[in-house]
Amino acid sequence: MQLEPTSGYEGALLIDGAWVEGEGRQDVVHPYDGSRVGSIALAGREQVVEAIEAAERAQEAADLSAYERYELLSKTADRLEAELESVARLLTSEQGKPLSESKGEVDRAVQTLRLSAEEAKRQFGEYVPMDAQRGFSRDHCFTQHEPLGVVAAITPFNFPINLMVHKVGPALAAGNAVVGKPASNTPLVSLKLFEFLEEACREVGAPTGLVNVVTGSGSTTGDAILEHDAVEAISFTGSTAVGKYLANNSGMKELTLELGGNDPTIIWDDTDIEEAAAQVVGGACSNAGQVCNSVERVIVPEHIEGDVVEALVAAAEELTVGDPFDPETNVASMVDDDQFETVVDIFERTVEAGATVECGGNYGGDLGPRTFEPTVLSGVTPEMPAAKEEVFGPLVPVITVPDFDAAIEEANNTNYGLEAGIFTQDIDRGRRAANEIDAGGVNVNTVSGFRADHMPYGGFKDSGVGKEGIKYAVEHFSRQKLVGFHDGFNA
Ligand code: NAP
């Protein structure tokens, strides 16, 4: 294992076009063995305010055409693509996901940037046929989109580069300035991204300060962002607890909240059980289960429980646990002690409550200090912790139901509503699931974890407010103005 060296910019804050020191420092460690990867600057409150005000000035001064915004984002995509290997290694170094998954995430970030670049050229307004109402047949009205101003982008640890691009790309495409705030345990790939964005800004002649990034305490940054009138929009991905805090304190700001989930996937008796089980285990264990829409509850009819459990165990036992830099590894460590201990606690309480460990169940020790084996649990009831709480770990809890009505009811038995999956060959069951499961997305014949970067993505209930997915995010980051031409002189 060789950690990826970090760049000279790694420890600094990007404010108004300059990389500056913070008010303190914090180490970033490799989750698999605790070795030091680098360090970040801790932004003070005044520095966050400086970043916001630099962004405000830059946005007011910027007069980038749609084509120039396209170029800015395309150049950033080209640079990221050219450095895909090293950025992926940096991502594995700080986040701990297997290197193959990191390469996949960086490749997605390149595509998300390119999709954003294209979207910059599609800010269409709409002609409003005024003669639809009596008395207005001589008026001409249309709409045009305008940027909001400053967009704050706050991201979590689990997809640190692609989720930052999901905010920054559409915000810049719509003509805004940005202040980014990555998670403190996985900030380094975001700093790389902003390094590339800043260079592209200079190449297209954007004013300094159009892109800024601050690292350090979430509450310091969050409160400075909440209190500053120049921030017109906050785009947040993270826990429901922090999301609710932002919602309760954001006043008139535009808010997009992509929050937690407890996503169900139904395996019905009319499907290929082995194929479904392999996808479910993959969907529950990728990134060591630290995925917002990972499969968190597997719902199956009672009469096929044995077959499904057997197939899930076979799929789970195929996975290799180990060093994330080893190409054979499928499941590596969790990001930090807090995440690991939370999963251990949920697992232990679920087993105490009567669930059966069908495979796995080992954690820590020789596996690595923050590593948990892929674990299939049967006999799980809806009240058990592994079914009731969001589990950010590689657990596969199986819940049985007597019939399809009960399957839908169980899928909805949660305060969350991010995504859902169902494996069935019966079109009516697929249709019922799509109509009756209360989630932001229902995927027929794949797992809840399905996501392409241009599709609308965002949860219902405690899973959030608003949608990401380039075009949909651009709508949140721009406002519509009505322009009217009236026949005032000849009326
Ligand atoms: P988190 O603890 O809520 O942190 C997310 C971000 O918020 C971090 O940058 C954090 O900074 C910052 N933060 C913390 N307190 C804040 C405050 N008071 N004001 C403003 N920002 C604050 O979440 P996490 O543990 O990193 O991520 C896991 C969660 O994200 C899970 O619940 C998962 O389901 C959710 N998630 C949702 C989606 C989705 O699309 N729906 C996608 C991925 C993840 P620090 O790191 O400095 O504390």
In this structure, the answer to whether residues 185 and 227 fall within a common structural domain is: yes
In this structure, the answer to whether residues 254 and 395 fall within a common structural domain is: no
In this structure, the answer to whether residues 242 and 315 fall within a common structural domain is: no
On whether residue 1 sits in a domain, the answer given is no
**Model pLDDT, residue 115:** 98
In this structure, the answer to whether residues 162 and 308 fall within a common structural domain is: no
On whether residue 490 sits in a domain, the answer given is no
In this structure, the answer to whether residues 289 and 246 fall within a common structural domain is: no
**Model pLDDT, residue 489:** 76
Does ligand 1 come within 6 angstroms of the Cβ of 261?
A: yes
**Model pLDDT, residue 11:** 76
Active-site amino acid positions: 258, 292
Residue found by looking up tokens 């974890």 in the block: 449
In this structure, the answer to whether residues 107 and 143 fall within a common structural domain is: yes
Cβ-in-10-Å burial (0-12, 13-18, 19+) of 381 comes to middle
Domain harbouring 338, CATH code: 3.40.309.10
In this structure, the answer to whether residues 23 and 92 fall within a common structural domain is: yes
Q: Tell how far the Cα of 218 is from the centroid of ligand 1, in angstroms.
A: 9
Q: Tell how far the Cα of 260 is from the centroid of ligand 1, in angstroms.
A: 9
Does ligand 1 come within 6 angstroms of the Cβ of 217?
A: yes
On whether residue 80 sits in a domain, the answer given is yes
**Model pLDDT, residue 491:** 57
Does ligand 1 come within 6 angstroms of the Cβ of 154?
A: yes
- pLDDT digits 0-9 by tens, 430-470: 999 999 999 999 999 999 999 999 999 999 999 999 999 99
On whether residue 285 sits in a domain, the answer given is yes
- pLDDT digits 0-9 by tens, 136-155: 999 999 999 999 999 999 99
Q: Tell how far the Cα of 67 is from the centroid of ligand 1, in angstroms.
A: 33
Does ligand 1 come within 6 angstroms of the Cβ of 198?
A: no
Which residue from 105, 191, 237, 255 has its CB within 8 A of the most atoms of ligand 1, so it is best to mutate?
A: 237
On whether residue 4 sits in a domain, the answer given is no
Q: Tell how far the Cα of 153 is from the centroid of ligand 1, in angstroms.
A: 11
Domain harbouring 113, CATH code: 3.40.605.10
Q: Tell how far the Cα of 183 is from the centroid of ligand 1, in angstroms.
A: 7
Closest protein CA for atom 35 of ligand 1 = 238
**Model pLDDT, residue 203:** 98
User: Which residues, 6+ apart, have CB-to-CB distance to 241 below 8 Å?
Assistant: none
Does ligand 1 come within 6 angstroms of the Cβ of 42?
A: no
| Strand duo 254-258 + 264-267: pairing | unpaired
What is the extent of the structural domain holding 26?
A: 9-259+464-481
Q: Which residues of 210-221 are buried (b: 16+ CB within 10 A; e: fewer)?
A: bbbbbbbbeebb
Does ligand 1 come within 6 angstroms of the Cβ of 184?
A: yes
Does ligand 1 come within 6 angstroms of the Cβ of 120?
A: no
On whether residue 458 sits in a domain, the answer given is no
Closest protein CA for atom 23 of ligand 1 = 238
Give the three-class secondary structure for 75: helix
In this structure, the answer to whether residues 411 and 330 fall within a common structural domain is: yes
Are 437 and 339 in contact by the 8 Å Cβ rule? The answer is no
**Model pLDDT, residue 95:** 98
In this structure, the answer to whether residues 110 and 166 fall within a common structural domain is: yes
On whether residue 28 sits in a domain, the answer given is yes
Closest protein CA for atom 9 of ligand 1 = 183
In the predicted model, residues of the chain with pLDDT beneath 50 are 8
Q: Tell how far the Cα of 372 is from the centroid of ligand 1, in angstroms.
A: 22
Does ligand 1 come within 6 angstroms of the Cβ of 258?
A: yes
Measured over all CA atoms, what is the biggest interatomic distance in the chain, rounded to whole angstroms?
Answer: 86
**Model pLDDT, residue 8:** 44
In this structure, the answer to whether residues 246 and 318 fall within a common structural domain is: no
On whether residue 2 sits in a domain, the answer given is no
Sign of CA dihedral 291, 293, 297, 299: negative
In this structure, the answer to whether residues 24 and 55 fall within a common structural domain is: yes
**What is the domain count for the chain?**
2
In this structure, the answer to whether residues 252 and 268 fall within a common structural domain is: no
